Amino acid sequence: MTVRLPPRAVVSIAAADLRRRPAHAAELRSQLLLGEGVGVLEASRDGLWWLVENESDGYRGWVRTWGLVGASAPRATSWRRKAASRLCVPYAQVRVGPGRGAGVSPLFLNTRVIAGRRRGRYRPVELPDGRRGWVESASLALDSERPASLVDRIRSLLGVPYLWGGRTPLGYDCSGFTQQVLAERGIRIPRDARQQERATRLLVHGEIPIEGDLVFFGPSRGVAGHVGIGLGGGYYAHCRGHVRISSIDTDNQLCDRELTGSIRGWRRIDVARPIRAASSRRHRESA
CATH number attached to the domain at 8-73: 2.30.30.40
How far, in Å, CA of 282 to CA of 182, rounded? 21
Mean pLDDT of the chain: 92
Q: Could you read off the pLDDT of 106-131 as tens digits, one per residue?
A: 999 999 999 999 999 999 999 999 99
pLDDT for residue 71: 77
Helix axes 174-183, 150-157, angle to 10 degrees: 140
Q: Where along the chain do the CATH 2.30.30.40 domains lie?
A: 8-73, 83-142
How far, in Å, CA of 222 to CA of 92, rounded? 40
Q: How far is CA 210 from CA 20, 125, 150, 229, 236, in A?
A: 36, 37, 12, 10, 10
Length of the chain: 287
Q: Could you read off the pLDDT of 224-279 as tens digits, one per residue?
A: 999 999 999 999 999 999 999 999 999 999 999 999 889 999 999 975 454 555 55
Q: Is 193 left (phi over 0), alpha (psi -120 to 50) or beta?
A: alpha
Residue 28 DSSP SS3: strand
- 129's CB contacts (< 8 A; 6+ apart) are 12, 69, 75
How far, in Å, CA of 180 to CA of 173, rounded? 11
Name which CATH class applies to 83-142: mainly beta
CATH number attached to the domain at 150-269: 3.90.1720.10
123 neighbors 141 (Cβ within 8 angstroms): no
Banded model confidence at residue 167, pLDDT cuts 50, 70, 90: very high
pLDDT for residue 134: 98
Instruction: List, as one string, the DSSP characters of 99-145.
Output: TEEEEEEEEETT-EEEE---BTTEEEEE-TTS-EEEEEGGGEEETTS
pLDDT for residue 272: 45
Averaged pLDDT, 28-47? 95
